[in-house]
Amino acid sequence: MRKLAENFGRDIQAGLTELGQASLLFVESLQFTLTGAARQQPVRLSAVMAQAMEMGIRALPIVTVLSLAIGAMVAIQGIYSLGLFGAESKVTLGAALSVSREFAPLITGVLVAGRSGSALAARLGTMKINQEIDALTVMGINPVRFLVAPALLAMLLMLPLLTWFADMVGLFGAGLYITTTLGQSFPAYLSDLQAALKVDDVLHGLGKSAIFAVEITLIGVVNGLGVSGGADGIGRVTTRAVVHGISAIVITDMLFAWLVIQG
């Protein structure tokens, strides 16, 4: 029992330490972004663009496929469940709100956590084991400026953009099913969509995705930099980054939804 309590205490301590590290990395990244150029230590735009390309542009095909499927799935379930009350005609409202407020940011966040969060952890972990992080430090190149800040900025730029793209594709997928099943024309569907969807609904999803972006990046970085051992260690931190990233996204999503609705 005592050992169990000790282990629990150790886990809590390790978790708080990682939270502290993540906070420091976030603050330091912001400092370099805002004041780095004045200190002759700028965050390179080319590095941000390279990361944005990898995290955002290369994720477009899979985001397209998943969003299309999720949109259609929401429409299928919506028509079925609303049909029980004879309210199929309200499916556009349900699809619009659930895709823009919930499914698009959540699925995109989970996808990017699995794809880019893990890649970031693996990359930094490998760099640490190969002494590349030490090499940067002794060259007078701050690893946070060189590696973390570009990844954070790229993620902050690309995840909301991907989420917005997922909104469009998801609603298109929902529209395809709704128009085919209910015999509605596509312009009529778009008109319903326009009436149902408010800017706030889209911003709700985009706001969440910005928070997810920070979480995915910092979790990937903290895990990558905390690697120990060889290839085994890299495998471990990569898995950990994905599990922690997805968990953080789902919990934040729930808290965000609850807070916004309370407000």
Partner 1 sequence: MTPAIEVDRLFAHYGDKAVLRDVSLRVAPGEVMVIMGGSGSGKSTLLRHLLGLQLPTSGTVKVLGVDIVKGRRRSMLEMRRKIGVAFQSGALFSSMTVGENIMLPLREHARLDEATMRIMMRLKLDFVNLPGSEDLMPAELSGGMIKRAALARAIIMDPKLVFLDEPSAGLDPVVAAGLDELILELKATGVSLVVVTHELESAFRIADRITVLDKGEILVSDTVDAVRASPNARVQALLTRKVEHATHNPDEFLLALTRAN
Closer by beta carbon to partner 1, 28 or else 88 = 28
Closer by beta carbon to partner 1, 88 or else 132 = 132
Instruction: Give the number of C-alpha atoms closer than 13 A to the C-alpha of residue 63, restricted to the C-beta side.
Output: 30
Asked whether position 38 contacts partner 1 by CB under 8 A, the answer is no
Asked whether position 203 contacts partner 1 by CB under 8 A, the answer is no
Asked whether position 139 contacts partner 1 by CB under 8 A, the answer is yes
Sequence length of the chain is 263
Per-residue binder mask for partner 1 (CB under 8 A), 140-179, x = binder: xx--------------------------------------
Asked whether position 131 contacts partner 1 by CB under 8 A, the answer is yes
Minimum distance of partner 1 from residue 258's CB (angstroms): 41
Query: What is the 3-state secondary structure of the chain?
Result: CHHHHHHHHHHHHHHHHHHHHHHHHHHHHHHHHHHCCCCCCCCCHHHHHHHHHHHCHHHHHHHHHHHHHHHHHHHHHHHHHHHCCCCHHHHHHHHHHHHHHHHHHHHHHHHHHHHHHHHHHHHHHHHHHCCHHHHHHHCCCCHHHHHHHHHHHHHHHHHHHHHHHHHHHHHHHHHHHHHHHHCCCHHHHHHHHHHHCCHHHHHHHHHHHHHHHHHHHHHHHHHHHCCCCCHHHHHHHHHHHHHHHHHHHHHHHHHHHHHHHHC
- Tokens describing residue 173: 């997928």
Q: Which of 6, 11, 134, 200 binds partner 1 (CB under 8 A)?
A: 134
Closer by beta carbon to partner 1, 195 or else 231 = 231
- Tokens describing residue 175: 């529209």
- Total chain residues near partner 1 (CB under 8 A): 12
Closer by beta carbon to partner 1, 113 or else 147 = 147
Judged by CB under 8 A, the stretch of 5-13, 132-140, 217-225, 237-245 that binds partner 1 is 132-140
Q: Which of 81, 137, 180, 228 binds partner 1 (CB under 8 A)?
A: 137
Minimum distance of partner 1 from residue 143's CB (angstroms): 12
- Subset of residues 100 to 129 that bind partner 1, contact rule: CB under 8 A: 126-127
Minimum distance of partner 1 from residue 233's CB (angstroms): 16
Closer by beta carbon to partner 1, 54 or else 201 = 54
- Tokens describing residue 90: 């309200």
Which stretches of the chain bind partner 1, using CB under 8 A?
Answer: 126-127, 130-132, 134-135, 137-141
